[in-house]
A = this chain, B = another copy of it.
């Protein structure tokens, strides 16, 4: 992750793609969201969804994993260039999270993060706050999830 001062509003970054298999949809649901339409094809066929769908919490948890992996790749690339790497996190929270379309078994979701706001932290002067809008888009071009999240990002040391 780049330092707070290097982050530009409007910047969009693809964070990765993930294909949701029936097995992992059911495994996540059994652990955290055991509703029939996330657990069982037959019950899901009778539901308003008509087929097995991933828990909304599963679709956002996969975004988190891909985002952490992407940050790590960026940090490693920066270190390889001999640059220092800004600390990131924790997240303050999430706003306007919308599950816009179901994610069916077999769907492949491409996630993207867009910087929508940057501001200094009043309580922690060595940190800035970055708000990103994240979306997930399926193989039919439909946006299935959208949300805003705000995270602390380290500022460059003053005088640098």
Contacts and interface: CB of A to CB of B under 8 A. Distances in A.
A69 B147 CA distance: 26
Interface in A31-71: 31-35, 37, 48-49, 55-57, 60-62, 64-65, 68-69
A147 B95 CA distance: 9
A93 interface: yes
Contacts of A49: 90
Contacts of A97: 93-95, 97
Interface on chain A toward B: helix, strand, loop, or mixed SS? mixed
A47 to B, nearest CB: 9
B32 A91 contact: no
Nearest to A98: B93
A35 B68 contact: yes
A39 to B, nearest CB: 10
Nearest to A65: B32
B95 A96 contact: yes
A99 interface: yes
A60 B32 CA distance: 9
Given A35-B68, A90-B102, 9 more contacts: A31-B61, A31-B65, A48-B90, A56-B90, A57-B60, A57-B61, A57-B64, A93-B98, A94-B147
11 contacts: A31-B61, A31-B65, A32-B61, A32-B62, A33-B61, A33-B68, A35-B68, A61-B61, A93-B147, A94-B147, A95-B97
